[in-house]
């Protein structure tokens, strides 16, 4: 369990100050192919982002001045990307609110959880960010690996938003992790491993609980209740398209003692996605 090899010198993290979904007339209530389950999953996830990404930014910002210049620069790029993500998902969530959903209730659920997390020590907050950034990176990989088929039937701007977000989550996927290893360099490997694994287990429980609560509330507002809708949900998540089934092996890699995010090299996938989404020249 040796310290993390810092990856900041090898991977570009460009700022793309893009705006999406500024024409709300093209955003129906069940915007993902008319499917209430797929729509609820992505809406529920989006409602965790504005508060979640602020938490991520704050957790790495707390260490920025004490680290080497190269990692400081990576943290600055991470914060820049996450700031734009937060803004764009706040706007995306407003479209869901305009469709009649009580989005504020879902966003408050995430904020309550993160407000409690902020009462923990800085190292614990950073470890939680590492765990949640692993979730976003593996979900991003899964979305990009299908060439956009998970978002088939979505309005073009919504699909492009999620594709752009996925690209950037992969680009900066190691920043929090490298920051954690640098900040805990004086710790024993066993202590560091214990904290990051403990944080992942807690983060998994909280994320599953939050997503289930968000989807339940969205279903209720659509008049969808009972075991039937949850059976459809399990099929969506684990069978077809089966996004959780597809990310589960990558999720488990986090528990390896020598894990590092860039052991899963996504650079080829990123290049293809940048071309497909026409993002190659979008950096500010």
pLDDT in tens, 207-261: 999 999 999 999 999 999 999 999 999 999 999 999 999 999 999 999 999 999 9
For domain 25-276, which CATH number applies: 1.10.620, 1.20.58, 3.10.450, 2.40.128? 1.10.620
Q: Model confidence over 148-164: pLDDT tens digits?
A: 999 999 999 999 999 99
Domain boundaries, the chain: 25-276
Mean pLDDT, each 10-residue run in order, the chain (284 residues): 50 92 81 97 98 97 93 96 98 96 97 96 98 98 96 94 98 97 96 98 97 98 96 98 97 97 94 92 70
pLDDT in the model for residue 115: 96
pLDDT in the model for residue 125: 98
Residue 188 CA to residue 208 CA, distance in Å, equals 31
Q: Which residues, at least 6 apart from 163, have a Cβ–Cβ distance to it below 8 Å?
A: 143, 144, 148, 151, 273, 276, 277
Question: pTM of the entire structure?
Answer: 0.94
pLDDT in the model for residue 9: 45
How many beta carbons lie within 10 A of that of residue 164, not counting itself? Answer: 22
CA-angle at 160, arms to 223 and 247, nearest 5°: 70
Residue 281 CA to residue 284 CA, distance in Å, equals 9
């Amino acid at each position: 369990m040796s310290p993390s090899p810092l990856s900041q010198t090898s991977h570009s993290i460009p700022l793309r100050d893009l705006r999406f979904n500024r024409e709300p007339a093209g955003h129906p209530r069940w915007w993902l192919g008319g499917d209430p389950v797929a729509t609820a999953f992505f809406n529920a996830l989006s409602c965790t982002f504005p508060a979640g990404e602020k938490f991520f930014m704050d957790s790495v910002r707390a260490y920025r001045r004490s680290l080497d210049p190269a990692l400081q620069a990576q943290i600055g790029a991470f914060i820049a990307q996450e700031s734009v993500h937060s803004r764009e998902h706040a706007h995306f969530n407003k479209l869901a609110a305009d469709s009649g959903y009580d989005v504020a209730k879902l966003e408050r659920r995430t904020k309550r959880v993160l407000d409690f997390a902020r009462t923990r020590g800085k190292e614990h907050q950073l470890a939680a960010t590492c765990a949640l950034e692993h979730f976003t990176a593996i979900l991003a990989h899964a979305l990009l690996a299908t060439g956009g088929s998970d978002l088939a039937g979505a309005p073009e701007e919504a699909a492009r938003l999620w594709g752009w977000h996925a690209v950037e989550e992969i680009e900066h996927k190691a920043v929090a992790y490298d920051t954690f290893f640098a900040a805990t360099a004086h710790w024993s490997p066993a202590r560091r491993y214990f904290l990051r694994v403990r944080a992942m287990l807690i983060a998994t429980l909280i994320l599953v609980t939050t997503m289930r609560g968000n989807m339940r509330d969205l279903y209720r507002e659509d008049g969808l209740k009972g075991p039937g809708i949850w059976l459809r949900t399990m099929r969506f998540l684990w069978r077809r398209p089966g996004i959780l089934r597809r990310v589960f092996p990558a999720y488990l890699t986090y528990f390896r003692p020598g894990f590092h995010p860039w052991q899963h090299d996504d650079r080829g996938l990123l290049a293809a996605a940048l071309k497909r989404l026409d993002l190659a020249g979008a950096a500010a």
